[in-house]
Chains A and B, each alone.
Chain A
């Protein structure tokens, strides 16, 4: 009896696994399809692009579409703008958040807990509520249509402070005390001990911050009006809007130029990237 049922059950499991694998492969192919279509179409000559049925091999193969992009939008300038805002937002917010998290987790002062809780409560405030007054403020400061309107407000990142504070708390206090006995001050303890021990947390925040800034659309849409001030996501949309029914292949080429570098960077650092989201998700 048992000798016949066990192989049968095992065979059923094996068929089940094969079926699941097959479904997953189909899903994976479907997920990738729009990307493949994007890239092949942008490499196809205008006369054959968007043909029905869709062509999967670019014929005639051309890089013409890519070369046409800078004639439509200041692509290089926009890429630099995106990079500039992302670097200042990410780097700047870390420079603000790291000392703050240290203060909240390691230094005893009156109001420590209360101030931290007020800031934590602000995590509930959606960006749309504060952006209207921030918009008015930026106008008053003469920063409308400047990149500063994007990176200045990004310097305060309450989630980063919270996340770092949790991480710093997991570092044993005995280490600080030992360092203090040896005569170390707050700055030494923070930058020579805590920061080097917090690599995973800091890199997770760097990855998430950079990604959020690089992909931001709402902020640039509100603050930026002239093409040479725009970041890439907004530039892409204006290219498409300015074109209307025009050559969509050029829009596709521009999208490819925005998406492909990000994808390559992602593929190289994938492990890291996924780990950041998993840790931020599980801890947050």
Chain B
């Protein structure tokens, strides 16, 4: 067996993969190990690094801002997952209904286009759209008799504002994934259920939804990973404020690492982000056995 394998060892394989492996070592594996090592040091980039044992990790657990920021980030990620999954699924179901072709194209374009705009532009536009004096939302809410909240000066509303902006920006992605998932549900199964006397609700909950579950699962995992790393709208619109109410973990990480240059502490924080994302994803995969339908 070993001899057979040795004979089929084609050294040219290494030639094909070597550029990728080299770059992988320099830009991913190496930095990954370096980040772990650095998390055991105090370093400000100017004076030599000092070994500090588990100081940075202990500091993490006693940092009240870190826990607040973690809470905010989890809240944001949870809201993002729920709104995107439900919104994306409902929009996909609605658009999937036989509609005028031109209208369907226009609606799909309108839902999707914000996704291709950069976060920087999106954040700047919405900063003005939600402006308390001349913003569109402020004016039209007042027209229908609702006093618009002071979005980014009120700590109770700032995060809600960001959740809304994020929804506008990325719902198109979830929508497209859901729409693609819906195409994989065989029409014959739905017709069969119909002829057996199932009503629309029964068809949805007993046929469409179970067959969509792998797509919903994928969208949930991807949305959580993306949402947990939210950074741009907080940094550009509210700068984490007011009262740190929109400070996300990545924003705190950015400030720690690239503004106050606490390299070791920032690396420890980044490791925490990695562990959180990994464990939540793992839990989702374990939970998926219960509800994701596999063919």
Q: Measuring CB to CB, which residues of chain A are less than 8 angstroms from any residue of chain B?
A: 17, 20-21, 23-25, 27-29, 31-35, 37-38, 50-54, 96-97, 99-100, 102-104, 107-110, 112, 115, 118-119, 122, 124-137, 139, 152-153, 155-156, 158, 161, 186, 211, 214-218, 221-222, 232-234, 236-237, 240, 248, 251-252, 255, 258-259, 262-263, 266-267, 270, 273-274, 277-279, 281-282, 284
Contact = CB atoms under 8 A, between A and B. Distances in A.
Interface stretch (B30-38, B65-73, B74-82, B146-154): B30-38
Contacts of B177: 277-278, 281-282
Contacts of A158: 24, 28
A126 B97 contact: no
Given A28-B106, A109-B10, A133-B35, A233 B119 contact: yes
Contact of B29 (A103, A122, A136, A217): A122
16 contacts: A51-B134, A96-B19, A99-B19, A99-B20, A100-B17, A100-B19, A103-B15, A118-B29, A124-B281, A125-B274, A130-B27, A211-B116, A252-B128, A274-B176, A281-B180, A282-B177
Nearest to B225: A126
Contact of A125 (B5, B13, B32, B112): B32
Contacts of A35: 113-114, 125
B176 A259 contact: no
A236 B133 contact: no
Given A130-B27, A130-B35, 14 more contacts: A24-B99, A35-B113, A35-B125, A54-B134, A107-B12, A108-B9, A108-B13, A109-B11, A129-B274, A153-B27, A216-B118, A218-B254, A232-B120, A281-B177
A132 B136 contact: no
**Majority secondary structure, B binding face:** helix
Given A54-B136, A104-B17, A132-B38, A277 B176 contact: yes
B291 interface: no
Interface of B: 5, 8-17, 19-21, 23-24, 26-32, 34-35, 38, 45, 91, 94-95, 97-100, 103, 106-114, 116-121, 123-129, 133-134, 136, 139, 168, 173, 176-177, 179-181, 184, 215, 218-219, 222, 225, 229, 231-232, 235-236, 250, 253-254, 257-258, 263, 266-267, 270-271, 273-274, 277-278, 281
A103 B97 CA distance: 44
Contacts of A252: 128
B176 A281 contact: yes
B28 A130 contact: yes
